Structure 1
Amino acid sequence: VHRLRSVDNLFVVVQEFKDYQFKENKEDALKDLEDLVKKLPWTNPLKVWELNNSLKKKKTKRKKHNLQSTASKEKLNDDGEEEGRDQKDASKQEDCAQNAAGVEPVSGQDTEKTQGAASRNGGEEEEDNEQSDAKDELQAGSGSETKAGDGKTSEGEAKVLKFRVTCNRAGDKHSFTSNEAARDFGGAVQEHFQWKADMTNFDVEVLLNIHNNEVVVGIALTEESLHRRNITHFGPTTLRSTLAYGMLRLCDPQPTDIIVDPMCGTGAIPIEGATEWPSCYHIAGDNNPQAVKRAANNICSLLKKNENKESSTSLGIPLDIVQWDICNLPLRTGSVDIIVSDMPFGKRIGSKKKNWDLYPACLMEMGRICTPGTGRAVLLTQDKKCFAKALSRMGHIWRKGQTVWVNVGGLHAAVYLLKRT
C-alpha cells in the first residue's frame, strides 16, 4: 500500500459514518464527539498501526536513515480490515483492502482505473477546510495503558504513548470549529487510553475527518505526506508528485516514448516520470533560469539518493533539463510522443491576461513537436476558460480526449488529455 504512487496519506479507518447527525447546539455536538470515543472499535486499527510501525522500524535499521516510507512490502490485508485512504479527500479513495472492523467498504474502485488516478489526489485543502491540531494539554493520569498496551511491553514496562488529534473539517453546517472538535475529541481519547497529548513528538496521530455529514475516524500510517517523495528544492508552485504521477499515468507511456515537459518549473513531472517510467526518455525545460536551477538541484538530490541505495552500480536517470522558450522549442517537428505539463494558472506565475496569448502559442508549438496521429498531451490548468478558447482555435491539431477535475491547493483545476490529430 505504501508503494501506491497516487496516494498522499495513508490511514487505517477506525470507523466511518456516512450520515452523522450533528446536534444544532455546539456544546451538544461536541459532547457527542467525546462520547463517540468510547464506542469506537479501536482494537484492530491499533494492531494495524503497530504492524505498520514494526515495518518502519525494520526498514530504518536496514537503510540507516532513509525515511521515505515507500518500499515497505506490507501485506496489511491479512486481517481484512485495513483500509488505507488519502486523508485529504476521503470520499474518493481506493480501498487498499476491505473494511475496517465492520465498516461498509467504500466503492472498491480498482486501483488501476486511470480515470480517477489524478482526481484521487484530492487537493491541499478545500476552501472551507480548517485544519488544526488543537490538543488538550491535560496531564495524563497514571501510566496504566488500556487496550493499546498489549504489544508494547517489550521495553520493560509499558511506555505511555504520546498522541495528537488532527481534525480536518469542511462544510458550512457545523456549529463548531476544527480546533474545538480536535480539542474535545482529544480530551476523550486521552481519558479513554490514558495516553499523553503531545503536538510534535507524538507516536499516534488520530484523525478526525469531518466533511459535511460524513465523519471518518482514523489512525495515520504515514508521518509526512507521500507527495514529498522526490522534491527537495520547492518553487512557488511546485506540483505534488502524486498529482504528477496521475498525469503521467493518464497518457499511458510506453517504453522508448519521448516525454517532454516544456514548462517544468522545479521538475516534479519529469522527475516522477524518470523514476517511475525509466524506459522512456524525459526532457524538461523552462524559460526561467531559477526554475531550471531548482529542477537541476532536484535531479542531483535524486541521483545522490539513488547512490545511497547501496547498489553496486549507481544508475543515472533518463532525464535532461534545458532552459528554453516554450514558443520556440529546439526540438524537431513530430519528434515527441508525449507532452505532460502544468501550465501557468496566471495566479502566482504569469497573469490571466498573458495566458490569452501564451496558451494558443503553447498549444501550437506543442502540436508542432508532437507526433501526428499517436502523440498525446496531458495538461493541467486552472485557467479553464482561456484554455478552452485556445483549444477551440487549435481543433485542426488537438482533439480533447478526457478531462479530470482536480483540486490543487484549494483551486479547482482541470487535467486535459489531448490527442494529436
Structure 2
Amino acid sequence: VHRLRSVDNLFVVVQEFKDYQFKENKEDALKDLEDLVKNLPWTDPLKVWELNNSLKKKKTKRKKPNLQSTASKEKLNEDGEEEGEDQKDASKEEDCAQNAAGAEPAGSQGSEKTEGVASRSGGEEEEEEDNEQLDAKEELQAGSGRETKAGDGKTSEGEAKVLKFRVTCNRAGDKHSFTSNEAARDFGGAVQEHFQWKADMTNFDVEVLLNIHNNEVVVGIALTEESLHRRNITHFGPTTLRSTLAYGMLRLCDPQPTDIIVDPMCGTGAIPIEGATEWPSCYHIAGDNNPQAVKRAANNICSLLKKNESKESSSSLGIPLDIIQWDICNLPLRTGSVDIIVTDMPFGKRIGSKKKNWDLYPACLTEMGRICTPGTGRAVLLTQDKKCFAKALSRMGHIWRKAQTVWVNVGGLHAAVYLLKRT
C-alpha cells in the first residue's frame, strides 16, 4: 500500500459513522465525542499500526504480500489529504481507487497546506486499477471490535513503554457548534485517559485522526508521517505540482517502454522527475522558459540522484531525464519526434495572466501538435483556465481531439486534466 503512487496519506479506519447526530449544545456534542473513545474497536487498527511500524523500521523495500493479509482485514484508506485545518476532504475510504488523480492540489495555485477534494469522475478508476486488490473493502469485523482495557495499550507493546500521541481533527460543514481544535482537544483528552498515553504534538508515536464532514465521522490512525506527495521534490517553486498528481497525469497517458515523454513547461520538474522514477524505460525531456525554474528542477534532479546513490551504494544509476531552457512556442525538437506530452499549463494566476493565456494556449497547442507523433501521440494537460483552453482547443480540431477530461482540485481551485490524442 505504501507503494501506491497517487495517494497522499494512508490511515487505517478505527470506525466510521455515516450519520452521526451531533447535539445542538457545544458541551454536549463534545462530551459525546469523549464518550465515543471508550466504545471504539481499537484493537485491530492498533495491530495494523504496529505492523506498519515494523515495516517502516526495516527500511527495506516493502513487499506487497505481507500487507495482503491485513488489507483484507481492514479497509486501508488512501486519502488524498493534507493536514489543512479546515480541510474539506474527510475520508473517502470507499473511493480510494478513485482518489488517484483526484485529490492532489497541484501546480499553479497549489499551496503546501491545502484541502484535497477527491474527484470522482470516471477518469481515475483506471489509474488505480492494479492496486485495487490491495484495498479489500471488508468492514472491520464486528466481533473483533470489543473494548480494549486501558492496560492493553501498554502490554501489546511488549514493554511498558508509554506511547506519545496527538489527535488531528479535520472538520468540514457549518452545522457544528464546536471548532476542530476543541474537538481534537476533548477527544484527545479521552484517548489519553483510555490508553494512558502521553500527549505530544511534535514527537508523537501515534497520530489519531478525527475526520468530521457534516454528519460523517471517521476515526483513524495515521500510517504515514508526512504527506507522500512531497517524495521527490526538495526545491519548491511558487506553483510546484504535487508528485501524486504528476503521477496520476502520467498514468493517464499510459507510457510504454521507449516512449519519449516531454514536459515543455516543467517548472520545478515534478512531472518529469516522477516520470523518470516510475517509468525508467521511457526517455524524459523537460524544459521551461524561466531560468529560475530550470535551476530548481536541476536541483531536484541532483538531490534525487544523491538519494539513489545512498540507496544503491554498489552502483549509482542515472535517471533517463534531461532538462533544458527553451521557449514553449519554439521547441528545439524535430517534428513528430515525441510520443507523449505531459504538462501543467500556466493557470494565469500566480504565473502569467489570463489575458496572456489567450495567445499562449493556441500557440502551445500548435507547437505541441508539431512535435507530437501523428496518430499515436498523446498529451495530458492540466489547467484551471478552462474557458481559454476549450476555446483554443476548438480551433485545433485538425491536430488534437479530446479523449477524456478529469476534474481535479488544485489547491482549492477547480482545475481539469485533459487527455488529448494527436490526429
Q: 1:106 to 1:382 in 2, by over 3 A?
A: closer
Displacement of 1:291 after TM fit? 0.4
Q: Deviations over 1:277-315 (max 9, x none)?
A: 001000000000000000001101111111111342211
Give per-residue Cα distances to partners, 1:24-64, cap 9 Å, x unaligned: 22222222211111111111101111111111122289999
- Partners of 2:294 and 2:232 lie apart in 1 by 16
Greater RCO (Cα-Cα under 8 Å, separation 6 or more): 2
CA contact (8 A) 2:7 2:99 kept: no
- What does residue 286 of structure 2 align with? 284
The unaligned stretches of length 5 or more in structure 2 are: none
Output the CA distance in 1 between the equivalents of 2:55 and 2:168.
24
Give CA-to-partner distance per residue, 1:184-218, whole Å, 9 cap, x none.
11111111111111110111100011112211100
Shift of 1:179: 1.1
Query: Could you tell me which residue of structure 1 aligns to residue 27 of structure 2?
Result: 27
Greater displacement, 238-247 / 392-401: 392-401
Secondary structure at the aligned position of 2:191 is classed as helix
Task: Find the aligned partners of 2:253 and 2:136 in 1 and give their Cα distance.
Answer: 42
Distance 1:8 1:45, change over 3 A: same
**How many Å apart are 1:235 and its aligned residue?**
0.7
Structure 2 residue 5 is the aligned partner of structure 1 residue 5: yes
Report 1:243-254 matches (<5 A). 243-254=245-256
1:144 Cα offset (Å): 20
Judged with a 3 Å threshold, the aligned counterparts in structure 2 of structure 1 residues 93 and 384 are, in CA distance, closer, same or farther, namely farther
Task: Flag the 1:80–1:172 CA change in 2: closer, same or farther, 3 A.
Answer: closer
How far apart, in 2, do the equivalents of 1:137 and 1:399 lie?
43
Q: Deviations over 1:344-383 (max 9, x none)?
A: 1111111111111111111111111111111111111111
Aligned-pair CA distance for 1:333:
0.9
**Cα contact 1:209–1:215 (8 A) shared by 2:** yes
Aligned residues of 1:145 and 1:195 also touching (Cα < 8 A): no
Closer, same or farther in 2 for the Cα pair 1:167/1:401, shift >3 Å? same
Instruction: Decide whether aligned partners of structure 1 residues 402 and 143 sit closer, same or farther in structure 2, where only a CA change above 3 A counts.
Output: closer
Sequence identity (%): 94
Q: Is the Cα–Cα contact under 8 Å of residues 173 and 214 in structure 2 kept in the other structure?
A: yes
Distance 1:103 1:273 in 2: 19
Q: Distance in 2 between matches of 1:102 and 1:391?
A: 23
The answer (yes or no) to whether the contact 1:131–1:167 under 8 Å persists in 2 is no
Given that residues 263 and 286 in structure 1 are in contact (C-alpha distance below 8 angstroms), is that contact kept between their aligned partners in structure 2?
Answer: yes
Q: State the 4+ residue runs in structure 1 displaced beyond 3 angstroms.
A: 60-157
Report how far residue 89 of structure 1 moved. 4.0
Give CA deviations for 1:43-102 in whole Å, capped at 9, x if unaligned.
110111111111112228999999999999999899999999999745544678999999
For the 8 Å contact 2:401–2:420, the answer to whether it is kept is: yes
**Which residue in 2 is equivalent to 1:398?**
400
Contact 2:85–2:171 at 8 Å: present in 1 too? no
Q: Secondary structure at the match of 1:16?
A: strand
CA RMSD of aligned residues (A): 9.6
Change (3 A) 1:103 1:70: same
Deviations 1:91-137 (A, max 9, x none): 54467899999999999999999999994799999999999999999
Deviations 1:151-193 (A, max 9, x none): 8569985121111100111222222211111111111111111
Tell me, yes or no, if the aligned pair for 2:261 and 2:283 is still in contact at 8 Å: yes
C-alpha change, 1:275 and 1:102, in structure 2 (3 Å) is: closer
From the superposition, tell whether residues 305 and 147 of structure 1 become closer, same or farther in structure 2 (CA, over 3 Å): farther
Decide whether aligned partners of structure 1 residues 264 and 78 sit closer, same or farther in structure 2, where only a CA change above 3 A counts: closer
Deviation digits for residues 226-259 of structure 1, max 9, x if unmatched? Answer: 1111111111111111110000000000011100
Give the total of aligned pairs: 421
